[in-house]
Amino acid sequence: MRTVKSLEIGRAAMVGGMVCMCGVILANPPNVSNVTLAQPTGTRVAVVGYETDGPGIATFQFRTNGVDICHSEIVRTVTGDVSKYIPAAGTYSFTWDAKRDFPEQVVSNLTVEVTLWATNNPPLYCAVNLVLENGLYPVRFYGKESEVPFGVTNSWWKKKWLLMRQIPATEGEFTTLGSPVGEIGRDARENERNVRITKPFYMGVYEVTQLQWQQVRGYQPSYYNNMDVYEERPVESLTYNTIRGVGYDWPKDGKAVHPDGFLGLLRSRTGNMLEFDLPLEAQWEYACRAGTTGAWNNGTTIVNGNTDPNLNLLGRYQYNGGYATNSAGGFINPPQNCTDENATAKVGSYPPNAWGLYDMHGNVWEFCRDWGTSNANDPSLLGDDPPGPVSGFQRVIRGGCHATPAQNCRSARVITNLATPTSYAQNWLGFRVMAPAEVMIESEENEEN
């Protein structure tokens, strides 16, 4: 840590520096040095300069009088070489327009912390702007939830940006995949088994929405497409093949995806910076549970297989709006043009789990990468980062949906017996994106915030 100087940003002038910090707790982080902080004459703009001795990911934290300024609430107009991948050693800079964010207030004793993260241990949040700039999608990184501009619940992250949160690797054996004997709705495929997730990975904070899909693929496939609310509803009525691509068979073909599929376009349009994919089944359940062992990821258990009071608080399913009711009080399938009061809910309508992931219970079933098997003791489901069987007839789906009873939305519930293969599309089938938490290559993009 090195103090350079401090700044005071008022209506007319800034007087007075900054703190520079390297990410010393990270795996082989690059060094950051020669941090400077200045105010151009006649402006209320803070200009930060810094040097790095290698590639990495730069993030920042402003403080006033020793108190963090929460990016999501106050610091929004930051542009330049920060919250992004820095491809090489050199001198970089970024600016903050304090006048725009703080038009009537003084920012006293401003300091800034600049952190460089190793590419194999990136920051907690990753965000992809799904609007092309110079032919690529800009990618941004944030070190903690409070740094995410406008806050993670803002509709910004459900429409034209894709927000992902890092899920930590397990420490030692992870033994709670599956469900205990006696859990309501349990079947033999849910036998508890030992699994270890050896590397951290990014997981979509939300299910992929209809507008996000439209931004990438250019068309709208979803059945529940009420024009007033469709943008933030999960995309559905698509197939595994339209997500990963026809003829790209995990695990036989490795991590390859079709270049024109959703994931292929997401990879190429971010300069192949991250290896976007569907989660493995083990990754999905591990991320859903977020350290819990019960039926629901808030630590509670299921008390009724159909309508469950604990699930009512966590997700959209058949008995809390997923189905509509007729004049006689019976359940009916919602009409196609229904609002989000029935069928699928807007993503993020219910509280997240402890790792900040929304809608892991209900809303839409979510595709996993694995082939399905009814054998809970299949070796491909055990050990380190289990890849699932080498072949099969259908892909695993997890999490339940708006059209199912409570027991099908449990953390351990897995469906592997669909009547049709990977070309299957239904208005209750969707997905969320994952990616290994490692920046893969140097990217020349991501120039402007």
Which range (15-19, 94-98, 226-230, 286-290) has the least confidence?
Answer: 15-19
Q: Where are the domains of the chain?
A: 2-118, 122-449
H/E element holding 126?
strand 125-129
pLDDT over 90 at 246, yes or no:
no
- Give me the pLDDT at residue 172, please: 74
Lookup result for tokens 């033994």? 175
- pLDDT per residue as tens digits for the range 257-303: 999 999 999 999 999 999 999 999 999 999 999 999 999 999 999 99
- pLDDT per residue as tens digits for the range 126-139: 999 999 999 999 99
pLDDT over 60 at 448, yes or no:
no
Neighbours of 4 (CB within 10 A): 14
- pLDDT per residue as tens digits for the range 139-186: 999 999 989 988 999 999 999 999 999 999 987 766 678 999 999 999
Rank 23-27, 75-79, 164-168 by mean pLDDT and report only the highest: 164-168
- Give me the pLDDT at residue 61, please: 87
Q: What is the DSSP string of 216-259?
A: HHSS---S---TTTGGGSBP-S--HHHHH-TT--TTTTTT---T
Q: What is the DSSP string of 167-200?
A: EPPPSS-EEEES--TT-TT--GGG--EEEE--S-
- Give me the pLDDT at residue 374, please: 85
pLDDT over 70 at 24, yes or no:
no
Angstrom distance (rounded) from CA 302 to CA 308: 7
The DSSP bridge partners found for residue 177 are: 193
93 to each of 35, 58, 114, 330, 337, how far by Cα in Å? 9, 10, 11, 62, 49
Region 195-214 average pLDDT = 96
Task: Work out the pLDDT band at 208, boundaries 50, 70, 90.
Answer: very high
**pTM for the model:** 0.90
- Give me the pLDDT at residue 362, please: 98
Mean pLDDT of the chain: 87
Contact 103, 237 (CB under 8 A): no
Chain Cα centroid distance, residue 102: 30
- pLDDT per residue as tens digits for the range 324-375: 988 777 888 899 999 999 999 999 999 999 999 999 999 999 999 999 998 8
Angstrom distance (rounded) from CA 358 to CA 367: 16
- Of 272, 263, 218, 210, nearest to 434 by C-alpha is 263
The better pLDDT of the pair 386, 67 is held by 386
Contact 298, 313 (CB under 8 A): yes
Domain 122-449, CATH: 3.90.1580.10
pLDDT over 70 at 2, yes or no:
no
| Residues of the chain above pLDDT 90, percent | 67
Biggest CA–CA distance in the chain, Å, is 73
- pLDDT per residue as tens digits for the range 398-444: 999 999 999 999 999 998 766 445 667 889 999 999 999 999 765 44
- pLDDT per residue as tens digits for the range 212-242: 999 999 999 999 999 999 999 999 999 999 9
Q: Which residues contact 428 (CB under 8 A, 6 or more apart)?
A: 236, 364, 365, 401, 402, 403, 404
Q: Residue 212 in 3-state DSSP? A: helix
For residue 103, whether the previous peptide bond is cis, meaning omega lies within 30 degrees of 0, is no
pLDDT over 60 at 19, yes or no:
no
Angstrom distance (rounded) from CA 87 to CA 266: 20
